[in-house]
Amino acid sequence: MFSPDTLPWTNSFASLSDDFYSRVTPTPYKTDARMLHFNPAAAELIGLQAENSNSPDLVKMLSGQSLPQGSDPLAMLYAGHQFGHFVPQLGDGRAIMLGEVSHEQTGKWELQLKGSGLTPYSRDGDGRAVLRSTIREYLCSEAIHSLGIRTTRALAMTGSDDEVYRERIETGAILTRMAPSHIRFGSFEVFFYRNQFEQIRTLADYVIEHHFTELKQPELQQQANPYLALFETVMRRTARLIAQWQSVGFAHGVMNSDNMSILGLTIDYGPFGFVEAYQPGYICNHSDHSGRYAFDQQPEIGLFNLSCLAQALLPVLMESEDDSPDKAVEMAKDIMTQYQPLYIKEYAGLMRAKLGLVEAMPEDQTLLQELLDLMQQNQVDYTILFRKLGDFRSDETQNHELRDLFLDREGFDQWSSRYAARLAKENSNDSERKVRMNKINPKFILRNYLAEIAIRKAEDEKDYSEIDVLFKILQQPFDEWPEFESYAGHPPEWASDIAVSCSS
């Protein structure tokens, strides 16, 4: 285990040329920094002793006041398609990667300070993050991880009394974010549109060597065309990721190509939301006026973003100088045609498990869609319904607690008869099924109103106790937590007034 001053820092990304980044140092707070919250589970991934969480040295390091020895801070360059339109240069406008810390069991982790000041890519911004957005990402990244979905992790939040100007004056904060890599689809796009094709090859080689070979996937380097194999791996991870999002009702809100991880991680938490009263067209982002990133559009947008990555990789997909660009296009298209069937298979498997079904049968998709249609028509809460479905009893003519979630009770009765018949086809045991279902259907999610309560207490009273409570619950979302039963209920009426946007 390490203390803050003995963490073994390196930075393999900094070994690339400065075409890929700008070296920059964090801008310290003007007022004293303090630790707002610390994640021992994330600290364990890099071997950092949790008892050091309030040490002055750690606070200084994670607030940008002092640089750890061996670090090599930088801001990454990338471009991306934002709301369908290409933006030629973006980059880490408010995030600075300190470097990497390796652990013999968990591998290599990049540590990034998000909200640590200006970088060359800040454009008209100030390089700062506000407390509310920092709390939201801190809590949601841990929630998504605990749901079994790949994501960046949050190590800590530091803050001060410095003021940050958004729609109003707010308190600033810095999130320490961890990931094996923060490389995005847009990291490749920037060089394609600049006609810097050698940089695309260099970056692809770096990703294969550092993030797939070291992750026990050496077969990528051994392929006749390792870049095509890389694209196929990214496609598969992306399809799996979005299927998982859909299964838990998670809406990312800003699926720009620069917010898509090359490793298939959930990255860049902004105006996210979890579907509550089920509506497939749920829009969580107040800035998304056209509904481009609505919940039911996410699978299609995943494919669009993969097409952006495929285009950026075309110069290196050609196996030899004699190959034509048309051949590279066809190879990329062949990979992309696999996306929809793979996504459908992944999603179907996840939803079958949410229904407590073990065997795959032809009528399963119809059974699921009928339930979702009923939920939409009756505005039934997505998470509550699937959790309570574990209590369904096949031998009862009416499952009253479930039935009462629907205004159209007769409609539910008809569906439940078909569900009971389907369970009988595989001789399902109700008790065993409930155990299985409660391991995949969470009782607790990060509802926007729960985050809002924590934010208001932190902003108005400097009271971080609600963050403690949510953090504890969200780390074990499948448990019953009887003392926190109210956190699993329907949102209050005032929750409908909460609006989150790209500034959130």
**Cα distance between residue 63 and residue 113, in whole Å:** 8
| Three-point CA angle 50, 445, 386, nearest 5° | 135
Report how far residue 299's alpha carbon sits from residue 280's, in angstroms, rounded to the nearest whole number.
Answer: 12
Residue (of 355, 451, 472, 442) closest to 147 by Cα position:
442
Residue 192 CA from chain centroid, whole number: 26
Spot the catalytic one: 258, 268, 288, 381: 258
User: Of 377, 382, 328, 391, nearest to 351 (Cα)?
Assistant: 382
CA separation for the pair 266, 263 (Å, rounded): 9
Structure-token pair, residue 469: 């409570």
Q: What angle do CA 285, 286, 287 make, to 5 degrees?
A: 90
Are residues 98 and 113 in contact, defined by beta-carbon separation less than 8 angstroms?
yes
User: Is-contact 68 5, C-beta < 8 A?
Assistant: yes
Distances (CA, A) of 110 to 113, 251, 323: 10, 25, 37
The yes-or-no answer on residue 258 being catalytic is yes
**Distant-in-sequence, close-in-space partners of 5: CB < 8 Å, separation ≥ 6:** 57, 68, 69
> What 8-state DSSP symbol labels residue 93?
S
Active site residues: 258
